[in-house]
Amino acid sequence: MVSAAYSYLGSSALTDGLTLQTSGGPAAHPRFFTGFLNDPGAAATGLLAVAEVARSRYFRPVSPASLDPVVTAGSDRLRFESFSGCCGVYARLDVLPAGIDGEITAHGTTNVDVNVPLQRALTRVGRADPLHLAVGPDDLTVTTFDGPLVERKVPLPSRWLRGFAEAQVLTSRFDPRAEVGIADARALLNRLPAGDRSVLWAVPAGRSLRLTSRPVPGAVCLPGAGRLVALKPFLRHATALRVYGPPVAAGAGPVASTWELSLPSLRLSLTLSPEPYRGFSGEGAVLEALAGDEVADDADLISALLSWDPAIDIDALATASGLGPQRVRAALTQLGTAGRVGYDVAEAGYFHRTLPYAADVVATMNPRLVGARALVDAGAVTATGEVAEVRSGDEIYHVRDTSCTCPWWGKHRGERGPCKHALAVRMVRAS
């Protein structure tokens, strides 16, 4: 379990009025955001969906342990994010500028519990009912007709940090694949089998999507259709369903995908891991970017340069830092491993979270990376020819490009990122 520690000017209090404290800033008692949401019924339904994902385990279900969405106030919007208990579903509700009637006076992130009283209050919010939020660094206050409810900051699971990083890298490779009207979206989602764990593929067909068991070019992977259940209550508010995924070819293996319901003021999206039993935290998509010797220093530099624009400008960061775009993206991946950076498929751009960043913590959360560096330090890599040799214990493994003769590679065949031996070879050849 990893939690972030902050220093505040004092304690938050709910007496004659609500006073939220933050870690400094231009005002004595600044808040990230305070104001109303313009589509209260839809926003309440979206918040419940994000909390529902946080309490769910879609693979080997057990009793829910927590409902702890991450809340971020950006320059012009609010974001609520969560991962399922199995870390295989990433949920996000974006409250866009059109959905906010209030002022974002500071930028920050907090991780709060959504308990039963707040769930009940949100279920009673109608389309015309007021929904007021106050977001601070150590709590979230939601005010409805039932009165104010204060949710306190809770520790952020380390697995979520790994999930944030992996989801960011995977979704940055996505393109829009289909857009479906809400009537066809409702028909599609309502006919999906509940609890289904098979891997299906959705192929654009006219105004809708046709489901098939085999991948074809242009198809979108639907791994575990039952994991989209949290979207269904939001259908009555949305105007369209958009689907995003990476390019696939005939015979391709399962890949991640994003399913998004939207209206002008809000977007609710679920990103599914490539298979129901696979959590994002173990996908290994970040490892190639983290293997370079310079990535930690680059991340420190990029972290200092990040501004709070709605989207991160890669070219502007490259110009300001003197680094090439590829090194900037690797640095963002490093920051993403600490939860500092996310990716918005709808706007094809990166965004910020205010979470602490420490290079040593990033390393400990990626054991394959730690293992690869240990092999390099031990002089276990011989990379003079096309096929490199890596001594690991009593065994010698052979690495060609990213493939390896080790049992781990034989089991996953590159679907979970490189093994530690291939990473070690890359490090040696790049040095």
What pLDDT digit, counting tens, does each position of 242-295 carry?
Answer: 999 999 998 888 999 999 999 999 999 999 999 888 888 665 656 666 666 677
pLDDT of 30 reads 56
pLDDT of 287 reads 65
pLDDT tens digits for range 120-170? 999 999 999 999 999 988 889 999 998 999 988 888 777 787 888 888 888
pLDDT of 239 reads 97
Q: Which two tokens stand for residue 123?
A: 């279920």
**Of 75 and 14, which is predicted with more confidence?**
75
pLDDT of 2 reads 40
C-alpha torsion angle, residues 411, 375, 393, 390 (rounded to 10): 70
Of 115, 107, 116, the closest CA to residue 79 belongs to 107
pLDDT of 139 reads 87
Query: Does the pLDDT value for residue 431 go beyond 90?
Result: no
Q: Which amino acid is present at 164?
A: F
pLDDT tens digits for range 385-415? 889 999 998 899 999 987 999 998 888 887 7
Query: Does the pLDDT value for residue 185 go beyond 80?
Result: yes
pLDDT of 61 reads 55
pLDDT tens digits for range 31-74? 789 999 999 999 999 999 999 999 888 876 555 555 578 999 88
Query: Does the pLDDT value for residue 335 go beyond 50?
Result: yes
What percentage of residues in the chain have a pLDDT greater than 90? 44
pLDDT of 414 reads 75
pLDDT of 197 reads 78
Q: Which amino acid is present at 293?
A: D
Query: Does the pLDDT value for residue 332 go beyond 60?
Result: yes
Query: Does the pLDDT value for residue 229 go beyond 80?
Result: yes
Q: Which two tokens stand for residue 358?
A: 């420490």
Q: Which residues pair with 80 in a beta bridge?
A: 71, 93
pLDDT category at 330 given cuts 50, 70, 90 is confident
CA dihedral for 38, 41, 47, 50, sign (positive or negative)? negative
Of 67, 90, 57, 113, the closest CA to residue 165 belongs to 90
pLDDT of 358 reads 63
- In 61-214, the DSSP E strands lie at 70-73, 78-83, 89-95, 100-104, 108-111, 132-135, 139-144, 147-152, 175-181, 199-205, 208-212
pLDDT of 67 reads 59
User: What proportions of the chain, in percent to the nearest 5, are helix, strand and coil?
Assistant: 30, 30, 40
Cβ neighbours of residue 278 closer than 8 Å, sequence gap 6 or more: 88, 416
Q: Which domains does the chain have, with CATH numbers?
A: 13-157 (3.10.150.10), 368-431 (no CATH)
Query: Does the pLDDT value for residue 365 go beyond 60?
Result: yes
pLDDT of 290 reads 64
pLDDT of 373 reads 87
| Average pLDDT of the residues of the chain | 84
pLDDT category at 6 given cuts 50, 70, 90 is very low
pLDDT of 14 reads 38
